[in-house]
Amino acid sequence: MDIERVLDVSARQTIRTEFRFDSEAPLVVSMEFVIEGGPRVLWRIGRDLLHQGLYSVSGLGDVQIRPSSLEDQATAWLQLASGNMAALFELPVPPLAKWLEYTYELVPDGHELAGIDWDAATADLLQSPTAHSD
């Protein structure tokens, strides 16, 4: 999917972005920015945070997303920050919302942790040599 990086009020850069979802790690969506002639940049964003941000303000800190306006929900603003740098992107809502709906068909909301063997996970935590007890 092509998204727009907002450079300033009148300048934008189209960036090819690959959105990926892994049903084995259903809490996150991977966004890989494919910059022509440059490195690929990977960000992992909470699936629910991304979905909510298409329709209302979502996220704190390094990842924030919100619809461009409440009247026209054709695009959403995504701000990514790292250290003292930040980038603002404009995302097309209809194709992204359709793709996210598909991810929720694969792993429904509320079922993301259903496949975890909590006894094994807890045992691994308690067996860890770096585990500390209070």
Q: Which residues contact 68 (CB under 8 A, 6 or more apart)?
A: 74, 75, 76, 77, 90
Cα–Cα dist 98/101, whole Å = 5
Of the pLDDT bands very low, low, confident and very high (cuts 50, 70, 90), residue 127 is: confident
**Are 44 and 55 contacting, i.e. CB atoms less than 8 angstroms apart?**
no
- Structure tokens given for 122: 């807890």
Q: Which residues contact 134 (CB under 8 A, 6 or more apart)?
A: none
Average pLDDT, the chain: 87
Task: Give whole-number Cα distances, 11 to 53, 65, 119, in Å.
Answer: 24, 20, 53
pLDDT for 123 equals: 76
**pLDDT tens per residue, range 20-74:** 999 988 999 999 999 888 889 999 999 999 999 999 999 988 999 999 975 666 9
